Chains A and B, each alone.
Chain A
Amino acid sequence: MIQKQSQRRGSFPQRAAITAAAWGIGLMAGAGVLAQTPQAYQVEQGEIRAALADAGDPVRGRAVVLSRESGNCFLCHAFPDADGAPPGNLGPEMSGVGARMNAGQLRLRVVDSARVNAQSIMPAYYRIEGLNRVAAAYRGKPLLSAQQVEDVVAYLAQLK
């Protein structure tokens, strides 16, 4: 179907491809758990102590971290068990991060690292306010769902 549309708009092959890709992502987000407005949370002394969803699953969390479609965390951070995903080095290495920080500190950093360091280049994975010119397919949606945040936190917490 998409293929057919691209052909029909033959004079705009590139635009059609981009539109198709955007639709694909949009549909994925719509079908998944991303299209949820973030819930309120409380920051106390550099931590978000209360879980945002059900108890996190470290296996699912690892999948989010290594997924190109959701977390994409390995683009900036090196993980000890990344199975050969070529790590970036824009952010600190994650080996032993679970020994350096507790779950509340990890949660705040995943949710909104600007709350720790306003200059941080790390995207806020659970915030929709204060963003500029967000592409329509992603507008009003956080990068991760509350459950995905919990899963990532559970995964990071066991990197000791």
Chain B
Amino acid sequence: MSLRRLSLGLFAALVAGTAVAQTAVRPAPLKSGIEFTGAEVRALQNDEFANPAMLWVLRGTALWTQPAGKDNRSCASCHGDATTGMKSVATHYPQIDKSSGSLINLEGRIQQCRERRQNASPLKYESEELLGLTAFVRMQSRGMPLAISIDGPARAYFERGRDFYYKRVGQMNLACAHCHQDNWGKKLGPEIISQGHGNPYPGYRLEWQTMGSLHRRFRSCLSGVRAEMLPQGAPEYLDLELYLAWRSGNLPVETPGVRR
């Protein structure tokens, strides 16, 4: 390696390494992504008969009362009617799981219930079943403001999520913050850049032509900047999910949302 190449490398490393600990900050004013989508998408999301994500919610509704696993118990066997028992529950996720002391999101909680309470096999993260159940449970908090905690043991996860948010990654060398914090409202080609809130997920994305999890949405952005993608449910994505939920302030849950 020539001296010039070495010095170039050092310079680049210096530029990349100057990321000082960033302050967590919310966009102001807070705007749900639905405000950036255009009237057609808004109409789709708001009409429960036209909203394509409702197909998955219906699946989740059926699964709620369907016995599963060796113990032949359904979600309803313990939780009863979801419209009352699950009301506002999703606004508090992700949260610290008391039994393990680690961060868990709603998908993780559903998996935990299947394993421990139903003695059933786990569902694949992006499966129709888990998307349906998660969307169904989250829909019981639709319109309610997010209310997560980043105190106590959640703090370390929150800080890691914040660091992820501000870390430049990929061949494009971009952090989440470059688009969704510093430049929301501007145009990336034909698209208006949103503030990047997780409140519509699991949701239906027209680009996917299907329902997807928030973690799948993370993968889309990371693929766009040509960065390594992690599997849905990866600890780094959980950290980021917590940071985003904090960053969304009191925005309402929109699940099942529709996005471009």
Q: Select which of A129, A132, A138 is within 8 A of B168 by beta carbon.
A: A132
Q: Please tell me if the beta carbons of A87 and B187 are within 8 angstroms of each other in the complex.
A: yes
Q: Which residues of A contact B (CB under 8 A)?
A: 11, 14, 18, 40, 42, 74-76, 85-90, 112, 114-115, 118, 121, 123-124, 127, 129-138, 141, 143
When C-beta atoms are compared, the residue in chain A nearest to B14 turns out to be: A130
Q: Please tell me if the beta carbons of A86 and B12 are within 8 angstroms of each other in the complex.
A: no
Query: Does B121 reach chain A (CB closer than 8 Å)?
Result: no
Judged by DSSP, the binding face of A is loop
In the complex, A130 Cα to B189 Cα: how many Å? 27
Chain B residues lying within 8 Å of A132, measured Cβ to Cβ, are 16, 167-170, 173, 227
B residues 204-253 touching A (CB-CB < 8 Å): 216, 223, 226-229
Listed A/B pairs (29) with beta-carbon separation below 8 Å = A40-B5, A74-B189, A75-B188, A75-B189, A87-B189, A88-B186, A88-B189, A90-B183, A90-B186, A90-B187, A112-B12, A121-B178, A121-B179, A121-B183, A123-B171, A123-B174, A130-B13, A130-B14, A130-B17, A131-B12, A131-B169, A131-B170, A132-B227, A133-B170, A134-B170, A135-B171, A135-B223, A135-B227, A137-B226
Chain B positions 155 through 188: 1 when the CB is less than 8 Å from some CB of chain A, otherwise 0: 0000000000001111111100011001100111
Q: Please tell me if the beta carbons of A134 and B226 are within 8 angstroms of each other in the complex.
A: yes
Q: Which residues of B contact A (CB under 8 A)?
A: 2, 4-5, 8-9, 11-18, 124, 126, 167-174, 178-179, 182-183, 186-190, 193, 216, 223, 226-229
Q: Please tell me if the beta carbons of B15 and A40 are within 8 angstroms of each other in the complex.
A: no
Q: Please tell me if the beta carbons of A135 and B188 are within 8 angstroms of each other in the complex.
A: no
In the complex, A2 Cα to B174 Cα: how many Å? 31
Q: Please tell me if the beta carbons of B15 and A114 are within 8 angstroms of each other in the complex.
A: yes
In the complex, A78 Cα to B66 Cα: how many Å? 55
When C-beta atoms are compared, the residue in chain A nearest to B7 turns out to be: A40
Q: Please tell me if the beta carbons of B171 and A134 are within 8 angstroms of each other in the complex.
A: yes
When C-beta atoms are compared, the residue in chain A nearest to B13 turns out to be: A130
Chain A residues lying within 8 Å of B216, measured Cβ to Cβ, are 14
Q: Select which of A89, A127, A134, A136 is within 8 A of B12 by beta carbon.
A: A127
Chain A residues lying within 8 Å of B188, measured Cβ to Cβ, are 75-76, 88, 90
In the complex, A127 Cα to B12 Cα: how many Å? 8
In the complex, A11 Cα to B186 Cα: how many Å? 38
In the complex, A42 Cα to B7 Cα: how many Å? 11
Counting from the closest, the 10 A-B pairs by CB-CB distance are A130-B12, A86-B190, A129-B12, A130-B16, A138-B171, A129-B9, A75-B189, A123-B172, A133-B169, A121-B178
Chain A residues lying within 8 Å of B12, measured Cβ to Cβ, are 112, 114, 124, 127, 129-131
Extra pairs beyond A42-B4, A124-B12, A130-B14 (16, CB < 8 Å) = A40-B8, A75-B188, A86-B189, A90-B193, A121-B183, A123-B172, A127-B8, A127-B12, A132-B16, A132-B167, A132-B169, A133-B170, A133-B228, A134-B171, A134-B228, A135-B226
Known: A74-B189, A90-B187, A130-B13. A135 touches B18 (CB 8 A): no
Chain A residues lying within 8 Å of B174, measured Cβ to Cβ, are 121, 123
In the complex, A86 Cα to B190 Cα: how many Å? 5
Q: Please tell me if the beta carbons of A88 and B223 are within 8 angstroms of each other in the complex.
A: no
